[in-house]
Structure 1
Amino acid sequence: MPFQSLVARLPYPSFAVQRAVAIAAVIAQAGIGVTGSVVRVTGSGLGCPTWPQCVEGSIVPVAHPELDMLTQWIEFSNRLLTGVVILVAALCVITAWRVQIEHPSRRRLVKLAWTMPAGVMLQAVVGGITVLAKLEWWTVALHFLASTPLVWLAVLLLRAFKEGDEPARWLIPDAGRKTLIVLAAAMWAVLVAGTVVTGAGPHGGDPGTHRLQAPIETLTQVHGGLLVVYLIVLAVFGLQLMRGETPKPVWRRYTIVWVVALSQGVLGSVQYALGVPEALVSLHVLGSALVIISTAALWCGSRDRGPAPVSPAADRELATSN
């Protein structure tokens, strides 16, 4: 393959480069959701009312009697950020591919890397549907929810660059493995409920957007109740960790999840009490991304796949750094 031969000519990426690319993927996948919330709370969701063009006949914002230029540029800027996410996703694939050329057994690493551009393309399609559907609340919910597994997979990719490809050896008691699965399921249930609350809330992305006709008080209580379920499962998981010789790194990740989840719960309560101010909405979306990242990191840290193979040059670099 011509492209593979081109990738093979690239320098072997150091551990620092691999880590930087994967961290960029985590930030990009989480960040695009936060910037999307900014578009929503500023009412700029239909600043560019067509797709893939911004306005009919132009891919960039132009003066239009029915459209405010500021809202056009806010929405257009968010679309431009998709280009940055695509670039980072491409770097993930190239970096993982270069590693696999040196170590052919690293197929899992490359598969994880390919989920980044594949996910971005899916998001672009969902984003286009969202615009064409005039920001119907359920399309906005799908647009956000489609990004959540990409954040999770980006964390798994970061871990994959640092570990080998041996069969997973769990570092936690057997009962904890099942609870960890329940914890992940509870996390996504909280996220889904959050998008439903948003669908009935005041920030629809455009003043004329149709909203979900449901009592927001009830929806908020369901959302909060599911967070309580998540925290209960997290507490049970901690009790199960006490039954075995759990490594300290797992306990550190577990503690971080508690800090992030409780902070997110407090932020959500304050946000609701203050009438859902715009700035707190975006902070709450950022908090959602941090919950995903910390939970995924706990998942990754609860198992071991052995050390990552290194190239001779990388081996020398590691020896020098030690």
Structure 2
Amino acid sequence: MPFTSLVARLPFPSAAVQRAVGIAAVLAQALIGVTGSIVRVTGSGLGCPTWPQCVAGSLVPKHDSGIDALNQWIEFGNRLLTGVVIIVAAIAVVTAWRVQIDHPGRKRLVKLAWTMPGGVVLQAVVGGLTVLAKLEWWTVAIHFLATTPLVWLAVLLLRAFHEGDEPARPLVPAAGRTILVLLAAVMWLVLAAGTTVTGAGPHSGDINTHRLDAPVETLAQVHGGLLVLYLLLLAVFGLQLLRVGAPKSLWRRYTVVWVVAVAQGGLGSLQYALGVPEAMVSFHVLGAMAVIVATASLWTGSRDRGPVTSLTAAPRELTAA
């Protein structure tokens, strides 16, 4: 393939470059979720009321459109950031591809890398449908939730750059693996419940947007209750780590999850007590992204795929063969 030959001419990415690309993928996927919340709390969700154009007849904001210029540029800026995320995703693919050229066994790494641009394109389409649906609360919820697996996959990609390709060897017993699956599932339930609180709350993205007709207090209690369940599962998982004498690296990841999850719960409670101020909404979304990253990191740290063999270029004679 001509493009493969072109990629093969690129310098082999060092261990530092591979790590930097993985971190950039995680940050880019998480950041787009946070900036989306900024669009919502500033009432800029329909600053660009159509898609893929911003306003009818123009891809960029027009000051004579009858829409506040600041709202236009906030929403348009979020759309531009999607382009940056796609660039980062493309760099991840090229980096993984270049690694695989020297190390053909790294197929899993390339597959994970391809989820980045594929997911961003899908997310952009979902975002466009959200705009065309005039920010109906459930479309906004789907738009946010579509971001969360991309953040998770980006963490897996970061890990894949620095692990081998052997079959996964669990570092926790079968009961611990089951609890970890439940922990991840409940995490997404917490996130989904959070979108219902948002759907019924004061920050709709546009003053004319329909809201979820349900008591915010009840929805917030469900959201908080699921977080408590998440923490209980996390505590039980810790008992499993004690049982097997887990390595220090796994304990560090476990500790980070506790710190992030408890901080996120405290922030959510404070946010609710203060009447959901705009700035705290975006910080809470940032905290949600941190919980996803920490939980995914715990997930990847709970198994071992053997030593990484692709941090340096393969000997020339092997690549030539």
Q: How does 1:278-317 map to 2 (within 5 A)?
A: 278-310=278-310, 313=313
Matched residue, 2:247 = 247
Give the drift of 1:312.
Answer: 5.3
Q: How does 1:109-148 map to 2 (within 5 A)?
A: 109-148=109-148
SS of residue paired to 1:6: helix
Letter aligned with residue 52 of structure 1: P
Q: Is residue 102–residue 314 contact of structure 2 (8 Å, CA) maintained in 1? A: no
Matched residue, 1:74 = 74
Give the drift of 1:311.
Answer: 6.2
Letter aligned with residue 308 of structure 1: V
Q: 1:288 to 1:314 in 2, by over 3 A?
A: farther
Letter aligned with residue 51 of structure 1: W
Q: Is residue 141–residue 196 contact of structure 2 (8 Å, CA) maintained in 1? A: yes
Q: Is residue 15–residue 314 contact of structure 1 (8 Å, CA) maintained in 2? A: no
Q: Is residue 193–residue 219 contact of structure 2 (8 Å, CA) maintained in 1? A: yes
Give the drift of 1:293.
Answer: 0.1
Give the drift of 1:309.
Answer: 1.1
SS of residue paired to 2:131: helix
Q: How does the TM-score come out when normalised to structure 1?
A: 0.96
Q: Is residue 14–residue 314 contact of structure 1 (8 Å, CA) maintained in 2? A: no
Letter aligned with residue 234 of structure 2: L
Matched residue, 2:39 = 39
SS of residue paired to 2:244: coil
Q: Which stretches in structure 2 are left out of the alignment for 5+ residues?
A: 316-321
1:232-287 CA-to-partner distances (Å, cap 9, x unmatched) read 00000001111112000100100100000000000000000000000000000000
- What is the distance in 1 between the residues matched to 2:35 and 2:205? 12
Q: Is residue 196–residue 219 contact of structure 1 (8 Å, CA) maintained in 2? A: yes
Query: How many residue pairs end up in the alignment?
Result: 315
Q: Is residue 39–residue 74 contact of structure 2 (8 Å, CA) maintained in 1? A: yes
1:190 aligns with 2:158: no
1:119-170 CA-to-partner distances (Å, cap 9, x unmatched) read 0011011000000000000000000000000000000000000001000011
- What is the distance in 1 between the residues matched to 2:102 and 2:4? 12
- What is the distance in 1 between the residues matched to 2:176 and 2:113? 28
Q: How does the TM-score come out when normalised to structure 2?
A: 0.97
1:203-231 CA-to-partner distances (Å, cap 9, x unmatched) read 01011111001011100000000000000
Q: Is residue 102–residue 311 contact of structure 1 (8 Å, CA) maintained in 2? A: no
Q: Which stretches in structure 1 are left out of the alignment for 5+ residues?
A: 316-322
Q: Is residue 15–residue 312 contact of structure 2 (8 Å, CA) maintained in 1? A: no
1:233 aligns with 2:233: yes
Q: Is residue 15–residue 311 contact of structure 2 (8 Å, CA) maintained in 1? A: no
Give the drift of 1:310.
Answer: 3.1
Q: Is residue 26–residue 151 contact of structure 2 (8 Å, CA) maintained in 1? A: yes
Q: Is residue 193–residue 219 contact of structure 1 (8 Å, CA) maintained in 2? A: yes
Matched residue, 1:94 = 94
Superposed structure 1 runs of 4+ greater than 2 Å apart:
310-315
Matched residue, 2:4 = 4
Q: Is residue 39–residue 75 contact of structure 1 (8 Å, CA) maintained in 2? A: yes
Give the drift of 1:52.
Answer: 0.6
RMSD of Structure 2 on Structure 1 (CA): 1.1
- What is the distance in 2 between the residues matched to 1:212 and 1:256? 34
Give the drift of 1:173.
Answer: 2.2
Give % identity.
76
SS of residue paired to 1:162: coil
1:200 aligns with 2:200: yes
Give the drift of 1:65.
Answer: 4.8
SS of residue paired to 1:242: helix
Give the drift of 1:313.
Answer: 4.9
SS of residue paired to 2:243: coil
Q: 1:311 to 1:16 in 2, by over 3 A?
A: closer
- What is the distance in 1 between the residues matched to 2:311 and 2:47? 49
Q: Is residue 14–residue 312 contact of structure 2 (8 Å, CA) maintained in 1? A: no
Matched residue, 1:267 = 267
- What is the distance in 1 between the residues matched to 2:45 and 2:313? 49
